[in-house]
Amino acid sequence: MLSKRIIPCLDVRGGVLTKGVKFVGNVDIGDPVESARHYYEQGADEIVFYDITASHEGRGIFLDVVERVASQIFIPFSVGGGIRTVQDMRDVLLAGAEKVSVNSAAVNDPDIISQGAAQFGSQCVVVGMDVLKVGVSEKIPSGYEIVIHGGRKHMDLDAVEWARTCEALGAGELCVNSIDADGTKDGYELTLTRMIAEAVSIPVIASGGAGNPQHMVEAVTEGKATAALIASIVHYGEYTIPDIKAYMTGKGVKVRSVW
Amino acid sequence: MIAVIDYGMGNLRSVVNAIEMAGGNPEVVSDPSMLQAAERIVLPGVGAFGDCIANLTRTGFAETLDREVRGKGRPILGICLGMQVMARRGVEFGEHAGLGWFAAEVLRIQPADPALRVPQVGWNDLNVRREHPVLRGLPKGGDVYFVHSFQMCCDDPADILATCDYGGAITAAVAKDNIVATQFHPEKSQDVGLALLANFLRWNP
């Protein structure tokens, strides 16, 4: 049986790790390669690196970080942030990342999804969606809108409709990040996660709001996600990945244990 | 030297890194004549079946592999699409003939449980059907990493080494003579995958 995945997300800025609360007031918390190794040894099922400033400050991609990670950890990892072109995708994949996550660039130019899928395979292409709850309207029938640039720009695009578009264009997975829940530690946005998971047949990763292991159980049961992204609750040592997995196992959720 | 075949189907870096970690001496090989000097061969691959077999044929690898692997008995490990192309036929984006080393068809996964997604992405536990040196010492029910929408369906169940459960049994590993292949990615399966690679490096079929 497939295990539910626990995926630590490492936000990187200028080569160091940060974790923002609602995308402001970031605090530096360490070296991304060391952190990746630590989570790898603890049993993370996958790791995400996100260049948090890249999409609006034009930062380059941390290819040296990616290369160092690739030579040390033998689980899949993905890289996002600052991916604007198919060439950007190629660069991070050649540096050793398994997957590449596109967000703003895909909203601005959806063709990057189909081009990436055609050239590297759908399994490489994760679409990250930043979503804000806005209430149901004619334009936004689901009540959830796609935003970009860390929530600063509304796109007049319905999140469920966008999820279906991404799937049709060849996305291999969707990472659904609730801007409302991000940094609150009150739990994932389960309504949103479930709505998207039911609208597509590709895997959905829940993101934003994890505060305790019960939240992860909820994400993969009620939320119907196949994976849960986590950040501050492990970055600050509140919980370890083995703690989280032991809890999930106790709740009847199948997770992988490290050999 | 462990030849990692480069025929334009995806990134080889993680495979090379993992073989090094497992104690091998990998070399990326894009010229079929280099296979003569190889002690063992690894055939990776991501992408679509048709492109894969077209590239193997165009680069001359298909013919050379047949000679080195089937003729001379050189040990080979196929990974993911590199396993699938060893089948007789694949049906991804049209019907394509494969290398034909296994009496098998490569068909789209159709999980009995409609809640299960295609592709299968993630860690799934192996059910070992048959003992094999390449699986020796692996933990019972250890998880390995899969990413795929198609699976190899073997005519002869004796070819199947291991399966995983994804709304029905999915072929996870196959073997025959000097050929072994995995649907999952040992290079991305942490210690279980590295142990499998180390076994392959020691295997004398």
pLDDT tens for B95-109 read: 999 999 999 999 999
Q: Which residues of B are catalytic?
A: 80, 185, 187
| Residue-level pLDDT at A163 | 98
Largest Cα–Cα separation, chain B: 48
| Residue-level pLDDT at B130 | 95
Which among A1, A6, A40 has a CA at the least distance from the CA of A245? A6
| Chain B CA closest to residue A44 | B190
- How many residues can be counted in chain B? 205
Task: State how far the Cα of A84 lies from the Cα of A62, in Å rounded to an integer.
Answer: 14
Task: State how far the Cα of B104 lies from the Cα of B123, in Å rounded to an integer.
Answer: 24
Calculate how close chain B gets to A26, using CA atoms only, in Å.
Answer: 31
| Residue-level pLDDT at A151 | 80
| Residue-level pLDDT at A54 | 53
Task: State how far the Cα of A121 lies from the Cα of B7, in Å rounded to an integer.
Answer: 15
Tell me the count of A-B CB pairs closer than 8 A: 96
Q: Do A3 and B192 touch (CB under 8 A)?
A: no
Count CA within 13 A, CB hemisphere, residue B176: 16
Decide: B46 and B21 in contact? Cβ < 8 Å. Answer: no
Model-level pTM?
0.93
* Given A11, A51, A180, A182, the catalytic residue: A11
| Residue-level pLDDT at B180 | 98
| Residue-level pLDDT at A91 | 85
Chain B positions contacting chain A at CB under 8 Å are 10-11, 13-14, 17-18, 21, 46-48, 115-125, 139, 142-143, 145, 147-149, 165-166, 185, 187-195
Decide: B145 and B123 in contact? Cβ < 8 Å. Answer: yes
Q: Is B58 exposed, middle or buried (0-12, 13-18, 19+ CB in 10 A)?
A: exposed
Residues of chain B with pLDDT under 50: none
Whether CATH 3.40.50.880 fits B2-202: yes
Which among A65, A121, A119, A127 has a CA at the least distance from the CA of A97? A65
Taking CB atoms and an 8 Å cutoff, what residues of chain B touch A229? none
Task: State how far the Cα of A13 lies from the Cα of A236, in Å rounded to an integer.
Answer: 17
Decide: A146 and A140 in contact? Cβ < 8 Å. Answer: no
Distance of alpha carbon A135 from the chain centroid: 24
| Residue-level pLDDT at B87 | 98
- Nearest Cβ partner of A123 from B115, B147, B189? B147
Query: What's the CATH superfamily of A5-250?
Result: Aldolase class I (3.20.20.70)
- Nearest Cβ partner of B145 from A76, A173, A259? A76
Task: State how far the Cα of B169 lies from the Cα of A155, in Å rounded to an integer.
Answer: 43
Decide: B31 and B40 in contact? Cβ < 8 Å. Answer: no
Calculate how close chain A gets to B124, using CA atoms only, in Å.
Answer: 4
Q: Do A203 and B194 touch (CB under 8 A)?
A: no
Mean pLDDT of chain B: 94
Decide: A50 and A11 in contact? Cβ < 8 Å. Answer: yes
The string of DSSP letters for A104-120 reads HHHHH-THHHHHHHHHH
Q: Do A259 and B192 touch (CB under 8 A)?
A: yes
The answer for B122, left when phi > 0, alpha when psi is -120 to 50, beta otherwise, is left
ipTM, 2 decimals?
Answer: 0.93
What are the residues whose beta carbons fall under 8 Å from the beta carbon of A134, sequence distance 6 or more?
A: A140, A143, A144, A145, A154
CA distances from A167 to A245, B94, B120, B171 (A): 30, 21, 15, 26
pLDDT (tens, 9 = 90+) of chain A, 259 residues, equals: 999 999 999 888 877 777 533 333 444 457 788 888 889 999 999 999 988 765 444 444 478 888 899 999 999 999 998 888 998 898 888 888 999 999 999 999 999 999 999 888 888 999 999 999 999 999 999 999 999 987 889 999 999 999 999 999 999 999 999 999 998 999 999 999 999 999 999 999 999 999 999 999 999 999 999 999 998 888 877 899 999 999 999 999 999 998 8
Decide: A223 and A193 in contact? Cβ < 8 Å. Answer: yes
Task: State how far the Cα of A228 lies from the Cα of B87, in Å rounded to an integer.
Answer: 35
In the chain, the amino acid numbered B93 is F
Taking CB atoms and an 8 Å cutoff, what residues of chain A touch B117? 201-203, 226
Q: Do B188 and A256 touch (CB under 8 A)?
A: no
Q: Do B18 and A1 touch (CB under 8 A)?
A: no
Residue bearing tokens 């309504």: A191
> Could you say which DSSP state residue B133 is in?
G
Sorted by where each begins, the domain ranges of chain B are 2-202
In the chain, the amino acid numbered A215 is H
Termini Cα distance of chain B? 17
Residue bearing tokens 């059907």: B129
Task: State how far the Cα of A73 lies from the Cα of A56, in Å rounded to an integer.
Answer: 29
Task: State how far the Cα of A240 lies from the Cα of B180, in Å rounded to an integer.
Answer: 37
